[in-house]
Structure 1
Amino acid sequence: MSRVCELTGKGPMSGNNVSHAQNKTRRRFLPNLNDVSLMSETLGRTFKLRISAAALRTVDHRGGLDAFMDKAKAEELSPGAQKIKREIEKARANA
């Protein structure tokens, strides 16, 4: 399973471990990913996603999954999240 946020596309970064003696060795900074279930008010169902803690705060700040998907760029979303975005847009168009 890849270590990439499904909503923001945030993935591992690389950098250095720096010791007191200034020895530098390469390391990876992994995103803080969590398995969460988010509710869509438009569709009336929940979706299980693997997202970063920062993305979860953003979803709460914007007012839920539907509001987040309205502003999200499709290129940043995972294929599963793109499908959710299309379903939400389709449901709103029909309503």
Structure 2
Amino acid sequence: MSARCQLTGAQPVFGNRVSHSHRRTRRRWDPNIQSRRYWVPSENRHVRLTLSTRAIKTIDKIGIEAAVARIRARGERI
């Protein structure tokens, strides 16, 4: 499973780990990615989405139909 959200496009961010002596090494921050299955009434089927937790809250607010429309508008296949 890739560390990329299908709705928001959230993906890993890179930066530096800084030690006590101030030496810097590269690190990454991964988004909290979850796999969720939603029922889409208009298509009469379930869809499995790879979402960040922020996107799950967004779907709770705007609804799955609007979220699927946004994902398709980005050109992603569901």
Same fold per superposition (TM over 0.5): yes
Give the TM-score of the pair, scaled to structure 1: 0.67
User: Is the contact between residue 7 and residue 67 of structure 2 (CA under 8 Å) also seen in structure 1?
Assistant: no
RMSD: 1.9
Give the TM-score of the pair, scaled to structure 2: 0.79
Counterpart for residue 21 of structure 1: 21
Higher helix share: 1
Q: How does 1:39-58 map to 2 (within 5 A)?
A: 39-58=39-58
Structure 1 residue 59: Cα displacement: 0.5
Higher strand share: 2
Q: Percent identity?
A: 35
User: Is the contact between residue 39 and residue 46 of structure 1 (CA under 8 Å) also seen in structure 2?
Assistant: yes
Gaps of at least 5 residues in structure 1 are 81-95
Aligned to 1:79, the other structure's residue is in SS state coil
Alignment length, in residue pairs? 77
Distance 1:78 1:31, change over 3 A: farther
